[in-house]
Amino acid sequence: MAAMFVQPRQLLRNRPLSFGLGLLTLICLIAIIGPLLVDPTAARVGATIARQPPSPDHWLGTDGQGRDMVTVLIHAMPNTLTIGVVAGLISLTLGVALGLVSGFVGGMVDTIIRVLTDVMMTIPGIAILVLVAANVREMTVGLMAVIVASLSWMVATRTIRAQTLSLRERGYVQVARLNGSSGLKLVFVEVLPNLLPFIAASFVVTVSGAMLATIGLEALGLGPQNQLTLGTTIYWAQFYGAILRGMWWWWGPPIVVISIIFVGLMLTAIGLDSFVNKRLGGHA
Amino acid sequence: MYFRYVTRRFGLMLLVIILAVSINFLLPRLMPGDPVEAQLNQLLATGSGGGDISAMVESYRSRFGLDRPLWEQYLSYWGATLRLDLGVSLAAYPERVVDAILAGLPWTLGLLGFATLVSFTFGTLLGGLMGWPRVPRWLQPFGSSVVLLSSVPYFLIGMVLLYVFAIVLRIFPAGGGLPFGIQTGFNWETISAIAMHAALPAASIILAEIGAWALGMRGMMVSVLGEDYISLADAKGLKPRRIFFWYAMRNALLPQLTKLALAMGHIVSGAILVEVIFSYPGIGFRLYQAIQSNDYFVIQGIVLVLSISIAVAMFILDLIYPLIDPRIAAEEA
């Protein structure tokens, strides 16, 4: 379990990880600092002349409803990122808790959690999400995060359960058990700290899945109303036929931003994987 | 052994179906407000809808029997579902939901089946080569970029392909499944028209999926190549090509098949939006239209059909899998 103690030097030598984290940091910085510098009024419908190609006044042009695209993007990023990260955190917590209980308690509880996980993995997430989202009157960023989280906890549960099962039988856990440690103490002192690398890896995978579901729902027009998000921008571009009308500045930039987010997440996941999974180490 | 394994898998499939039907039943009842009633009231108020509103309200009432206790509603919901009575479309009354789904299903199945087959085959081969030490140098950067592309959602790739190949270059049609007013028949003209319309949507799914298969396969390949039987085959002086296909690929392939079953939900979710981008007449596009027009029964019906077909497809894969790798059935039983 030396994977826990990562030297900064090691981190830099892991090219996918450092590059992925770099991309994500860049996106997060823009999402945090951008809205402080850019006035949101230009992102209102009818704020400028509609359908303008990029110009010195509007670097990325304006959309079909007269919104300045730079402003729209900068104010959309924090909302989409918040949904993805919050949903990721909620489902990670759920996944770690279920995985720990399942792996540690075993028996009937384990069977129920395992079957539930398998069943939920089978059902296409977006189908259920569509059903929920279509039933909600007023969609908000927070509600969206909860909805997405309720369907993204399965991968984390599986990973953590498998690792707990193997950790449970390790020598030092057995020694602690024989020394009379209570179940809770075993879990929190002996098992949980050693799961940290796997939890970190699961977090990235979970956020990635949550982000995918979020942007998919938004692009179907089921995102938060009255709030700018990246997926909703794509939805309106699609709705008003921006591709067919050749207005590349409307749909192109959100695609680039979304792609950078996903590439960053994937590189981070690949990089973390080579830390966690020693067998692939050096090849990633 | 095989029998026990099959029964377990069958049980899992039944569980998924029961859960899907129950979620479909419960969700609208758990939510505050009633979208169907709201929609019907709106139709009544505007006088639009183009159908007999009172008949629609009647069908809605008789279907849900809202005055009856919940468990009775649940049972009759099951009865209706088993009779394939999924209600009527509210936006295109009196079209039955079953008919709407059946009209879209062949398009979706054809598109998804073809795209999945192609991306699985080529992705697995590419991944195998990426894990193989004796490949040309250009393959690694090519493979890495394909892998990175797989992180991007399908429909975004679709939008770029649509713009480049249908709007700028005008090689492929910009949307739909067939040209308007074409006489369909089993002839070359129809088939080529279908292929031309399916080319871009299929390409978006394939481009996005290949990398995912390649990544998984490369990982498996790396660990298989560390096995003793590979060293033995090498020491015996077998040709590299033979070792690659018959010793390494064959064994690394098995987990890929499990992944295919698990990825099914993900692929279907991604394909829904690809259909939307290309106005492809499958059930994903129908779902989008139903969301647009608050066509509640159609949304519900499509979600149900999607869940059930994935459960069935996974079951079929589960049946085939132990025939290829007998250890699977042995471990689980």
Per-residue pLDDT of chain B (333 residues; tens, 9 = 90+): 778 888 888 988 898 888 888 888 887 777 665 556 666 666 666 655 555 666 666 666 666 566 677 788 888 888 888 888 787 777 777 788 888 888 888 899 899 989 999 999 999 999 988 888 877 888 888 888 888 888 898 889 998 999 999 888 888 888 887 777 677 777 788 888 888 888 999 999 999 999 999 988 988 888 888 888 888 988 998 888 888 888 888 888 888 887 887 777 778 888 888 998 898 998 889 988 888 887 878 888 888 888 888 888 888 888 888 887 777 777 664
Give the residue from chain B lying closest to A238, CA to CA: B277
Give me B309's structure tokens: 């077909």
ipTM greater than cut 0.95:
no
- The per-residue pLDDT for A22 is 92
Residues of chain B found within 8 Å of residue A236, distances taken between Cβ atoms: none
Answer whether A261's CB lies under 8 Å from A24's CB. yes
Q: Which residues of B touch A221 (CB under 8 A)?
A: 288, 291-292
Cβ-Cβ contacts under 8 Å, B217 against chain A: none
Is A258 in Cβ contact with B156 (below 8 Å)? yes
Residue A100 contacts residue A202 (beta carbons within 8 Å): no
Whose CA is closest to A260, among A70, A27, A60? A27
What pLDDT is stored for residue B21 in this prediction?
86
Contacts of B236 (CB under 8 A, 6+ apart): none
CA of B272 vs chain A CAs: smallest distance (Å): 9
Banded pLDDT at A2 (limits 50, 70, 90): very low
Would you state the pLDDT for residue B38? Answer: 62
- Angstrom distance (rounded) from CA B217 to CA A93: 30
- Contact check, Cβ <8 Å, A134/B291: yes
**Percentage of chain A with pLDDT > 90?**
21
* pLDDT at res. B268: 83
CA distance B12 to chain A (A): 7
Contact A209, A61 (CB under 8 A): no
> Looking at chain A, which residue has its C-alpha nearest residue B22?
A128
What pLDDT is attached to residue A90?
Answer: 94
Q: Which of residues 33-92 of A touch B (CB under 8 A)?
A: none
Give how far Cα A204 sits from Cα of A4, A31, B92, B154, B214, Å: 16, 18, 43, 20, 20
Instruction: Check whether A9 has a pLDDT greater than 60.
Output: yes
pLDDT value, residue B42: 63
- Res A4: pLDDT: 47
Whether A205 contacts A158, CB under 8 Å: no
CATH code linked to domain A57-279: 1.10.3720.10
**Which residues does B333 contact at the CB level (< 8 Å), separation at least 6?**
B1, B4, B5, B8
Q: Does the CB of A130 have a partner CB in chain B at under 8 Å?
A: yes
Query: A263 touching B, CB under 8 A?
Result: yes
Q: Smallest CA–CA separation between B235 and chain A, in Å?
A: 23
Residue A273 has pLDDT above 70, yes or no: yes
DSSP alpha helix (H) spans, chain A: 8-13, 15-37, 69-105, 107-122, 125-135, 141-149, 154-168, 171-178, 183-185, 192-219, 230-239, 248-276
Average pLDDT, chain A: 83
Domain boundaries, chain A: 57-279
Q: Which residues contact B247 (CB under 8 A, 6 or more apart)?
A: B229, B230, B233, B238
In percent, the amount of chain A with pLDDT more than 70 equals 93
For chain A positions 211-230, those within 8 Å of chain B (CB to CB) are 212-213, 215-216, 219-222
- With an 8 Å Cβ cutoff, are B269 and A124 in contact? yes
In terms of pTM, does the model score above 0.90?
Answer: no
In tens, the pLDDT along A107-143 reads 889 889 988 888 887 777 777 777 777 777 778 888 8
Q: Give CA angle at A232 (A230, A235), nearest 5°.
A: 120
Cβ pair A113, A101 in contact under 8 A = yes
